[in-house]
């Protein structure tokens, strides 16, 4: 298939530039690296410098066909492997990922611009956590006995769906892929992943590493653009389930295609997550929580970013000032530098989009946008896609900045006077992914937690998605859950009823 030996180094490679080159120009299909059938590649760019660091195989329907055909063949045998053995293999793959955490952290920092210390290394470790978690769940793929009639044995069994198509975005590509691939594989499915065009390398390396312990063909990966490579994957007749994380618009396209085939989908889409701060909160803890909640270390490129912050009026101004001061202390710079807290935006397109939101906010009458953190001074980074975090006050609920997902380091803070009013504001959104509440009055907190329209509500913390906790949105934020036992059972298997008449 490929006219050169396995291009990926066997041992961890700590030079991400070398590794990026080594992983150039290939998909991973049927247990091997394979170039695009068309021979075409596209550039992978380091957003901190604008320099090309690799070429990725530009997949199309022909590559998808090859990957799905291999997956379908491999899945038949994979489904016969006892569930706990499948889990044990995924667990073994976790150990390999653990050995490569540093390498994967550096590689993802290079291709996405996310800082190594605050984001990229953390993400690589979490991938191993997720594989370990799902690797231990093989024994949970069990059915029930149903009390139908005394002389009829009625049982349910969980069966895999077949080939799963997984489409992932660029913001946390390794983790979001692991959340799809691990439960799908443990449940006995084979998977074809379509990586995000902006970040195809670290996920390809993970695919190759996991294939060292998995049978060939059960985990395949193609890189390429959405309409040319993602769409044929969703439409392929042998793909019996699609799991997608990305924008609402693309999610709807995926859902329509899936509807034609009558296959199940899981959709993790956008968010406009509110953070509600009461005057009785632990101020310092909440302040630190606001920085984490807004995912400033990920340049705000997170579906769960606290992009709307509501602060009870008595502490509003103090909170705004203190938050801006804290963000000022965050270091923007080379994503590969250990000192860096905040890296870059992923791509020129996103950079322009975020800038346009900021300009619009600044031009809004009555609004103030406070830019925080100093831009990096290193001349090597002058073409880097750095954006200063901006904290807006004085915007109204009609503003696009308050209604739309910016996916950048931009948050809007508002004062509020009573819990019912802030609840109405928080729920006034097309999205419903996540929310956080900060108060020492648990009665108020729990009451609001029940009324907030969101898939995940946290009180006095705002963590990112965690293995073992169901994660997924309501309203335009998506369909279905990920990250949990429920996700594996409900979204990667179907329940068959078997009845035996013993009368
Ligand atoms: P973003 O704007 O954040 O990149 P998208 O929803 O466009 O979000 O992209 C998320 C993933 O969906 C990427 O892997 C992208 O290539 C893929 N994608 C984009 N368009 C389509 C499509 N029409 N069908 C299937 N996948 C698509």
Domain ranges of the chain: 16-269+478-497, 274-467
Write the pLDDT tens digit of every residue in 98-135: 999 999 999 999 999 999 999 999 999 999 999 999 99
169 close to ligand 1 (CB < 6 Angstrom) = yes
CATH class of 16-269+478-497: alpha beta
In order of 30, 157, 165, 253, 407, the CA distances from 353 in angstroms are 38, 48, 29, 22, 9
Q: Which CATH architecture has domain 274-467?
A: 3-Layer(aba) Sandwich (3.40)
Q: In sequence order, what DSSP letters do the residues of 257-273 get, joined into one string?
A: HHHHHT--EEEE-----
Query: What is the distance between the alpha carbons of residues 92 and 102, in angstroms, rounded to a whole number?
Result: 18
Write the pLDDT tens digit of every residue in 370-412: 999 999 999 999 999 999 999 999 999 999 999 999 999 999 9
230 close to ligand 1 (CB < 6 Angstrom) = yes
C-alpha Rg value of the chain to the nearest Å:
23
What is the CA angle 176-180-186, rounded to 5?
A: 140
Closest CA to 61 of 229, 241, 189, 220: 229
Check pLDDT > 60 for residue 348: yes
Query: What is the distance between the alpha carbons of residues 134 and 353, in angstroms, rounded to a whole number?
Result: 37
Nearest CA, atom 24, ligand 1 = 231
Q: How confident is the model at residue 8 (pLDDT cuts 50, 70, 90)?
A: confident
Query: What is the distance between the alpha carbons of residues 266 and 187, in angstroms, rounded to a whole number?
Result: 16
Backbone φ, ψ for residue 21 (5° rounding) = -65, -45
Residue 268 annotated to the active site: yes
Write the pLDDT tens digit of every residue in 459-496: 999 999 999 999 999 999 999 999 999 999 999 999 99
Query: Residues with Cβ < 8 Å from 258, sequence gap 6 or more?
Result: 234, 242, 264, 265
Q: Is-same-fold flag (16-269+478-497; 274-467)?
A: no
Query: What is the distance between the alpha carbons of residues 306 and 411, in angstroms, rounded to a whole number?
Result: 7
Ligand 1 atom closest to the Cα of residue 257 is 24
Residue with tokens 């001074």: 377
Instruction: List, in sequence order, every residue forming a beta bridge with 154; answer none if it has no partner.
Output: 146, 499
Check pLDDT > 60 for residue 447: yes
Q: How confident is the model at residue 1 (pLDDT cuts 50, 70, 90)?
A: very low
- Residue percentage of the chain with pLDDT more than 90: 98
Residue 103 annotated to the active site: no
Q: How confident is the model at residue 4 (pLDDT cuts 50, 70, 90)?
A: very low
Residue 482 annotated to the active site: yes
Check pLDDT > 60 for residue 319: yes
For residues 148 and 372, is the Cβ–Cβ distance under 8 A? no
Residue 180 annotated to the active site: yes
pTM, rounded to two decimals: 0.97
Q: How confident is the model at residue 351 (pLDDT cuts 50, 70, 90)?
A: very high
Q: Tally Cβ neighbours within 10 Å of residue 427.
A: 15
Write the pLDDT tens digit of every residue in 224-252: 999 999 999 999 999 999 999 999 999 99
Nearest CA, atom 11, ligand 1 = 169
Query: Residues with Cβ < 8 Å from 318, sequence gap 6 or more?
Result: 283
Q: What is the mean pLDDT of residues 313-326?
A: 98
The pLDDT of residue 2 is 47
Closest CA to 172 of 208, 210, 124, 131: 124
The pLDDT of residue 6 is 57
Closest CA to 189 of 163, 220, 216, 222: 163
194 close to ligand 1 (CB < 6 Angstrom) = yes
Catalytic residue among 207, 229, 281, 303: 303
Output the average pLDDT for the chain.
Answer: 97
The pLDDT of residue 3 is 44
250 close to ligand 1 (CB < 6 Angstrom) = yes
Ligand 1: centre distance to CA 247 (Å): 7
Check pLDDT > 90 for residue 436: yes
């Amino acid at each position: 298939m490929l006219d050169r030996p396995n291009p990926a180094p066997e041992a961890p490679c700590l030079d991400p530039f070398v590794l990026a080159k080594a992983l150039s120009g290939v998909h991973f299909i049927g247990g091997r690296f394979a170039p695009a059938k068309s021979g075409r590649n596209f550039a992978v760019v380091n957003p901190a410098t604008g320099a090309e660091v690799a070429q990725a195989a530009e997949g199309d329907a022909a590559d998808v066909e090859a990957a799905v055909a291999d997956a379908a063949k491999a899945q038949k045998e994979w489904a016969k492997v006892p569930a706990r053995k499948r889990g044990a293999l995924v667990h073994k793959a976790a150990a390999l990922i653990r050995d490569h955490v540093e390498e994967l952290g550096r590689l993802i920092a290079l291709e996405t611009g996310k800082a190594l210390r605050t984001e990229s290394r953390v993400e690589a470790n979490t991938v191993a956590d997720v594989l370990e978690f799902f690797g231990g769940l093989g024994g949970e793929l069990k059915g029930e006995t149903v009390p139908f009639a005394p002389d009829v044995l009625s049982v349910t069994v969980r069966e895999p769906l077949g080939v799963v198509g997984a489409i992932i975005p660029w913001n946390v590509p390794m983790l979001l892929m692991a959340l799809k691939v691990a439960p799908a594989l443990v449940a006995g499915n084979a998977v074809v992943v379509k990586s995000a065009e902006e970040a195809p390398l670290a996920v390809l390396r993970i695919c190759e590493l996991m294939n060292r312990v998995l049978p060939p063909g059960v985990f395949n990966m193609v890189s390429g653009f959405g309409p040319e490579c993602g769409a044929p994957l969703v439409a392929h007749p042998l793909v019996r389930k699609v799991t997608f994380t990305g924008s609402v618009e693309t999610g709807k396209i995926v859902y329509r295609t899936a509807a034609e085939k009558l296959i199940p989908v899981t959709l993790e889409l956008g968010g406009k997550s509110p953070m509600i701060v009461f005057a009785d909160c632990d101020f310092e803890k909440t302040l630190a929580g606001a920085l984490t909640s807004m995912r400033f270390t990920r340049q705000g490129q997170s579906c769960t970013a606290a992009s709307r912050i509501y602060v009870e009026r008595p502490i509003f101004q103090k909170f705004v000032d203190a938050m801006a001061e804290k963000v000022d202390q965050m270091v923007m710079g080379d994503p590969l530098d250990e000192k860096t807290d905040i890296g870059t935006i992923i791509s020129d397109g996103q950079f322009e989009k975020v800038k346009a939101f900021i300009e619009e906010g600044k031009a809004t009458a009555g609004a103030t946008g406070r830019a925080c953190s100093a831009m990096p001074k290193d001349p090597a980074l002058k073409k880097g896609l750095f954006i200063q975090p901006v904290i807006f006050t004085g915007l109204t609920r009609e503003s696009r900045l308050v209604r739309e997902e910016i996916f950048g380091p931009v948050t809007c803070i508002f004062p509020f006077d009573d819990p019912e009013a802030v609840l109405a504001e928080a729920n006034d959104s097309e999205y419903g992914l996540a929310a956080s509440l900060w108060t020492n009055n648990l009665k108020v907190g729990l009451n609001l937690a029940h009324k907030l329209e969101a898939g995940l509500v946290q009180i006095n913390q705002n963590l990112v998605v965690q293995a073992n906790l169901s994660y997924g949105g309501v309203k335009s934020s998506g369909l279905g859950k990920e990250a949990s036992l429920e996700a594996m059972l409900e979204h990667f298997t179907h329940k068959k009823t078997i009845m035996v008449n013993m009368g």
